[in-house]
Amino acid sequence: MQAKELLEKAVALVTGDRSDTHGNMYKNHENIAKLWNGYMYNKRTIYPEDVANMMELMKVARRKIGGLNPDDYIDGAGYAAVAWRCAVEETGLDDEE
């Protein structure tokens, strides 16, 4: 794929019917910012688990303002699983219970 084609697809997504799925672009990102700011309260360093948790919060924000989209729930569950694996790695604990 050429750079121009990639950018044309991005323009189509941003200016297309994404608002039907994810809600108003500004309000969606405002909700994400509020959730991420809350998550980051009293936190100085971001670890891989935090990244996955914050991505899950992005999906929560989309569920709040957007239309009913099963991908937001599926992806949210996926990010929770990723956060678990990252937490296991970060702590060095064995999760084979």
Amino acid present at 86: C
Reported as a single tens digit per residue, the pLDDT across 31-72 is 999 999 999 999 999 999 999 999 999 999 999 988 899 999
pLDDT confidence of residue 15: 81
| pTM of this structure | 0.82
Amino acid present at 4: K
**Unique residue bearing structure tokens 């303002």:** 65
- Smallest CA-to-CA distance from 92 within 49, 41, 34 is with 49
pLDDT confidence of residue 95: 61
Share of the chain above pLDDT 70, in %: 96
- What's the CA gap between 25 and 64, in Å, rounded? 13
- What's the CA gap between 52 and 61, in Å, rounded? 14
**14-38 average pLDDT score:** 88
pLDDT confidence of residue 67: 86
Could you tell me the residue ranges of all domains in the chain? 23-91
